[in-house]
Structure 1
Amino acid sequence: MSEPPAKRRRLSEGHDPPPADVGAASGSELGPASLTRPISPPPRKRVARQERLLVPSPFQLTAIRDLPAESNIGAVSLRDLLGDPLILECWDFNYLHEINFLMCHFDEDVRSSVRVHVVHGFWKRGDPNRVALEQGASAFKNVELHTAYMPEMFGSHHSKMLVLFRYDDTAQLIIHTANMISKDWTNMTNAVWSTPMLPLSKGEENQDFTTGSGHKFKSDLLSYLRAYNTNRSVCRPLVDSLAKFDFSAVRGTLIASVPGRHAVETDPRETRWGWAALKQAMRSIPVQPGKADVVVQVSSIATLGGTDSWIQRTLFDSLSSAAKSTSRPSFKVVFPDASEIRRSLDGYASGGSIHTKIQSAQQAKQLQYLRPIFCHWANDSEKGTELPKGVAVRDGGRKRAAPHIKTYIRYGENSIDWAMLTSANLSKQAWGEAQGASQEIRVASWEIGVLVWPELLADNARMIGTFKTNSPSPVELEGDFPLVGLRIPYNLPLQTYGDDEAPWVATMAHTQPDWMGMTWPGW
Structure 2
Amino acid sequence: MSDTTDDTDGTTDGETPPPPSKRHKYSVSDAQKVHISSPFKLLSTRDLPPSENVDTITLFDILSGPLISCTWQFNFLFDIPFIYSHFDPDTADACCIKIVHGFWKTEDPTRHTLYEEAERYKNVELIAAYLPDPFGTHHTKMMVVFRRDDTVQVVVHTANMIEKDWGNMTNAAWLSPPLPFKIAASPATSEFEVDIMAYFAAYGRDRLKALMEEVKKYDFSSVKVTFVASVPGKFTTTSTKRMWGIERMRDVLSQAPSTPDTPSSKDTIIGQFSSIGSLGPKDTWLGPYFHSALSTTSSSTPSSRKPPLKLIFPTPSSIKNSLEGWFSGGSIHLRLSTPQMQSQLEYMRPMLCDWHAVEAGRERAAPHIKTYMRLSEDEKSGVRVKWALLTSANLSKPAWGTPVAGRDPGFKIQSYEAGILIHPAQYTSSNTVIVPTYKSDTVPEEVKERLVMEGVKEIVPLRMPWDWPLKKYEKADEPWTPGPARMEVDWRGMPWPGYGSKGQQDDVTFHAQALGACLEYRLNTLQRFLPRLLQTPSSKTQFLCIARDYFPETRFPLCGDMAT
Give CA-to-partner distance per residue, 1:49-89, whole Å, 9 cap, x none. Answer: 23132112100000000000010000000000001111100
- Offset of residue 204 of structure 1: 6.4
Distance 1:432 1:367, change over 3 A: same
- Aligned partner of 2:191 among 216, 220, 229: 216
Q: Name the residue aligned to 1:352.
A: 330
Partner Cα separation in structure 2 for residue 410 and residue 475 of structure 1:
23
Amino acid aligned to 1:336: P
CA contact (8 A) 1:432 1:443 kept: yes
Local SS of the residue matching 2:60: helix
- Offset of residue 314 of structure 1: 1.5
Q: Name the residue aligned to 1:450.
A: 420
Q: Name the residue aligned to 1:246.
A: 219
- Aligned partner of 1:401 among 348, 357, 365: 365
Unaligned runs of 5+ residues in structure 2 are: 1-19, 379-383, 500-564
CA contact (8 A) 2:225 2:422 kept: yes
Deviation beyond 6 Å, 4+ runs, structure 1: 43-46
- Offset of residue 430 of structure 1: 0.2
Amino acid aligned to 1:180: M
1:432 aligns with 2:401: yes
1:371 aligns with 2:335: no
Q: Name the residue aligned to 2:168.
A: 187
- Aligned partner of 2:389 among 395, 414, 420: 420
CA contact (8 A) 2:28 2:34 kept: no
Q: Name the residue aligned to 1:521.
A: 497
Partner Cα separation in structure 1 for residue 239 and residue 267 of structure 2:
30
Partner Cα separation in structure 1 for residue 479 and residue 121 of structure 2:
41
Amino acid aligned to 2:278: T
Partner Cα separation in structure 1 for residue 459 and residue 77 of structure 2:
37
TM-score for both structures, normalised by structure 2: 0.79
CA contact (8 A) 1:288 1:413 kept: no
Unaligned runs of 5+ residues in structure 1 are: 1-42, 208-213, 380-393
Partner Cα separation in structure 1 for residue 321 and residue 275 of structure 2:
19
Q: Name the residue aligned to 1:234.
A: 207
- Offset of residue 46 of structure 1: 8.4
Partner Cα separation in structure 2 for residue 431 and residue 265 of structure 1:
18
1:93-492 correspondence to structure 2 within 5 Å: 93-203=74-184, 205=186, 215-229=190-204, 232-268=205-241, 272-285=243-256, 286-289=258-261, 290-325=265-300, 327-378=305-356, 395-414=359-378, 415-436=384-405, 439-459=409-429, 460-476=431-447, 477-479=450-452, 480-481=455-456, 482-492=458-468
CA contact (8 A) 1:474 1:483 kept: no
Partner Cα separation in structure 1 for residue 360 and residue 214 of structure 2:
39
- Offset of residue 206 of structure 1: 7.2
Structure 1 or 2, whichever has the larger Rg, is 2
Partner Cα separation in structure 1 for residue 216 and residue 498 of structure 2:
47
Amino acid aligned to 1:431: W
Local SS of the residue matching 1:172: strand
More helix by share: 2
How much is the aligned-residue C-alpha RMSD, in angstroms?
Answer: 1.7
Q: Name the residue aligned to 1:77.
A: 58
CA contact (8 A) 1:46 1:475 kept: no
Local SS of the residue matching 1:100: helix
Report percent identity of matched pairs: 40
Q: Name the residue aligned to 1:497.
A: 473
1:92 aligns with 2:73: yes
Local SS of the residue matching 1:475: helix
Q: Name the residue aligned to 1:54.
A: 34
TM-score for both structures, normalised by structure 1: 0.85
Partner Cα separation in structure 1 for residue 356 and residue 159 of structure 2:
20
Distance 1:46 1:427, change over 3 A: farther
Partner Cα separation in structure 2 for residue 492 and residue 510 of structure 1:
31
Amino acid aligned to 2:227: L
Q: Which has the higher contact order (CA 8 A, sep 6+)?
A: 1
Partner Cα separation in structure 1 for residue 364 and residue 440 of structure 2:
17
